[in-house]
Amino acid sequence: MSLHPLPAPEIPETTARVARAAFPKGCLAMRVRDELGVLFQDADFAAAFPTRGGPGLAPGMLAVVSVMQFAERLTDRQAADAVRGRIDWKYLMGLELGDEGFHFSVLSGFRTRLVEHSHEQVILDRLLARLSELGFLRTGGRVRTDATHVLALVRDLNRLEFCTETLRCTLEALAVAAPHWLCAVGVADASWQERYGQRADSYRLPKGEPERGTFAVQVGTDGYALLETVHRPDAPQWLRELPAVQVLRQAWIQQYHRGEGEQGQEVRWREGKDLPPGRDRLVSPHDVDARCSVKRGMIWDGYKVHYSETCDDDLPHLVVNVATTHAAVDDSRLVGTVHDNLERREVKPGEHLVDGGYTSAAIILTARAQGIDLVGPLPPASDRQTRAGEGFALTDFQIHWEEQYAVCPKGAKSRYWGSTRMDGHPRTVDIFPEWDCRNCKVRTSCTSGFTRRLTLHPRDEHEFLQHQRAEQGTDAWKQRFHKRAGIEGTISQAVRGIGIRHSRYRGRAKTTLAHIFSAAAINLHRIDAHLTGHPAGTTRRTHFADLDLDTPPRRKPRRHRP
């Protein structure tokens, strides 16, 4: 394929000559400039930068530096040093050899501007638009999606450490914002400095369980005293609007009870069953967007990142969408967002391969209505008979939707047909008469109670579930779904090559921006591999796994001496 770079300012002659002498076969940065041209224009980020004031660094150049920073897994300081001293990076950005670059803190300010002006998606949008112009992307192809966990840039804290650290952070913020007010109100004394003068993870908390419970109540009492002082009418209004004070208030609602006791207001430590669900519960005062989640026995505090990549056989596999959520968000909630983003980028797929976490009958039918064939396994029916593999399962009943009744395998007709909702979704409840079930000779094969109760999805979902569950057991469907496994290689590349398993920044906004940079970096690597003819890696196998243990080795024949 012949590629023609975008019109761009010429690369300085000296820089071009020295770069080609130093890299006669080229390198990633040089091929990106030669084949893709200038990736980002300053006009793409115009809304995030003022038009008045002194001259500043070009945002288009800073965007390229940020993507290359993730492509080579560099820190801000190392990326700034690369701009200052590496010939290939100067070639990429069209700089003179003597250009002194910029201070590394500029990259942090650039990221902050992108987040404040909601320009995170511009990076991936512009790169994909350029790759689409070159023919590397097309509408109606095949896309696959999967997610992995991301650890937040905070320490793991137990509940007692979390509450202690939250109160310490609030006191620290007030000591900086209003030190004279904090000293004058008299809410804190020398004992508070002993308890909250250092980080909770370095504080020696009580060892015994009763002592820890007493300490937790003491922390809760101190926190409520501070909140009441901040919210008094004579306190400055702006103090209660401090983010640290808001976090303290939310954390105390989640972690403590307070009510009337024998000695006035009584503070009690919440039991585990009284805590809010993981999707709402704070895990660290340093990152209020992070949440705790559990998956197959693994517990982590942080986020999840969802990568969607093309997987057509005749084109390079490129990441076309990346989405970041906190750790407790269900995967199925991302399907609609992914499809909307793909359609906005004009890479709407004809087939979308996902695992079981993204699928349900309603989601698949909604995707098909949008012209996207969502392919993924659906869970088996949840009734006891299906799970046990014996007795009369849901598929053994005849459902008459128009007449609103069902018939059991023995010919009995249901007597009640009504509507309800489960987890916010509409369902139909169908109940058989108790006198028929009580006298049935095969009742134990149908139900363990007095009567059989059926819970049905809406008609179109029910019929689709029956058809899909039967189809996904066939070899043809399994062979079609087998293509989804390749997304594991993309996640492995992002984890091992770029380091997305640990978030570089705090907060979901900047974590999202980091994942977008990582997606753009992966695309540059894959375009470079495609242009140089480097084949995609295959599944690695160990030497032991390649041994043929079923066939015993042949013994060498003995040599007989003459």
Q: Give per-residue pLDDT as tens, 185-208.
A: 989 888 999 889 888 877 778 888
> Are 319 and 523 within 8 A, CB to CB?
yes
Q: For residues 300 and 293, what is the distance between their CA atoms, to the nearest angstrom?
A: 6
If one counts every other C-beta atom within 10 angstroms of the C-beta of residue 40, the result is 22
Q: What is the pLDDT of residue 448?
A: 81
Backbone angles phi, psi at 476, to 5 degrees: -65, -45
Q: For residues 493 and 163, what is the distance between their CA atoms, to the nearest angstrom?
A: 37
Backbone angles phi, psi at 525, to 5 degrees: -60, -40
| CA angle (107, 111, 115) in 5-degree steps | 170
Q: What is the pLDDT of residue 80?
A: 95
Q: What is the pLDDT of residue 510?
A: 96
Backbone angles phi, psi at 160, to 5 degrees: -65, -40
Q: What is the pLDDT of residue 558?
A: 63
Backbone angles phi, psi at 308, to 5 degrees: -120, 125
Summarize pLDDT for 138-181 with one digit per residue, the tens.
899 999 999 999 999 999 889 999 999 999 999 999 999 999 99
Residues facing 291 on adjacent strands: 302
Q: What is the pLDDT of residue 4?
A: 32
**Average confidence (pLDDT) over 259-276:** 79
Amino acid at 510: K
Q: Residue 326 pLDDT > 90, yes or no?
A: yes
Q: What is the pLDDT of residue 174?
A: 95
Specify the pTM: 0.89
Summarize pLDDT for 220-238 with one digit per residue, the tens.
999 999 999 999 999 999 9
Q: Over the chain, what is the mean pLDDT?
A: 89
Q: Residue 494 pLDDT > 90, yes or no?
A: yes
- The structure tokens 């409520």 sit at 224
Q: What is the pLDDT of residue 68?
A: 96
Which tokens hold the place of 519? 């997606």
Which tokens hold the place of 116? 């404040």
Q: For residues 126 and 487, what is the distance between their CA atoms, to the nearest angstrom?
A: 23
Q: What is the pLDDT of residue 410?
A: 87
3-state secondary structure of 549: coil
Q: For residues 128 and 516, what is the distance between their CA atoms, to the nearest angstrom?
A: 12
Which range has the worst mean pLDDT, 228-232, 267-271, 489-493? 267-271
User: How would residue 318 be classed by pLDDT, with cut points 50, 70 and 90?
Assistant: very high
Which tokens hold the place of 22? 């130093």
User: Which residues neighbour 365 within 8 Å (Cβ) at sequence distance 6 or greater?
Assistant: 460, 461, 464
Q: What is the pLDDT of residue 23?
A: 92
Q: Residue 88 pLDDT > 90, yes or no?
A: yes
**Average confidence (pLDDT) over 126-136:** 94
Q: Residue 245 pLDDT > 80, yes or no?
A: yes
Q: Residue 458 pLDDT > 60, yes or no?
A: yes
DSSP string over 430-479: EE--HHHHHT-TTGGGT-SSSS-EEEE--HHHHHHHHHHHHHTTSHHHHH
Q: How many residues does the chain have?
A: 562
- Report the half-sphere exposure of 164 (CA within 13 A, side-chain side): 27
**Average confidence (pLDDT) over 285-295:** 93
User: Which residues neighbour 23 within 8 Å (Cβ) at sequence distance 6 or greater?
Assistant: 30, 87, 88
Q: What is the pLDDT of residue 26?
A: 86
> Are 464 and 361 within 8 A, CB to CB?
yes
Q: What percent of the chain has pLDDT over 90?
A: 64
Q: Residue 5 pLDDT > 50, yes or no?
A: no
H or E, element range at 130: helix 120-133
Residues facing 256 on adjacent strands: 269
Q: What is the pLDDT of residue 559?
A: 62
Q: What is the pLDDT of residue 562?
A: 55
Q: For residues 259 and 265, what is the distance between their CA atoms, to the nearest angstrom?
A: 6
- Report the half-sphere exposure of 174 (CA within 13 A, side-chain side): 28
Q: What is the pLDDT of residue 205?
A: 82
> Are 240 and 196 within 8 A, CB to CB?
no
> Are 30 and 478 within 8 A, CB to CB?
no
Q: For residues 394 and 261, what is the distance between their CA atoms, to the nearest angstrom?
A: 53
Q: Residue 123 pLDDT > 70, yes or no?
A: yes
Which tokens hold the place of 379? 């869970």
User: How would residue 262 be classed by pLDDT, with cut points 50, 70 and 90?
Assistant: low
Q: What is the pLDDT of residue 206?
A: 85
- Report the half-sphere exposure of 251 (CA within 13 A, side-chain side): 31
Q: What is the pLDDT of residue 348?
A: 93
Which tokens hold the place of 503? 């978030």
User: How would residue 1 be classed by pLDDT, with cut points 50, 70 and 90?
Assistant: very low
DSSP string over 214-227: HHHHHHHHHHHHHH
User: How would residue 3 be classed by pLDDT, with cut points 50, 70 and 90?
Assistant: very low
3-state DSSP percent of the chain in helix, strand and coil, to 5: 45, 15, 40
Q: Residue 2 pLDDT > 60, yes or no?
A: no
- The structure tokens 């023919």 sit at 135
Q: Residue 45 pLDDT > 50, yes or no?
A: yes
Summarize pLDDT for 513-559 with one digit per residue, the tens.
999 999 999 999 999 999 998 877 777 778 888 887 777 666 656 66
DSSP 36: I
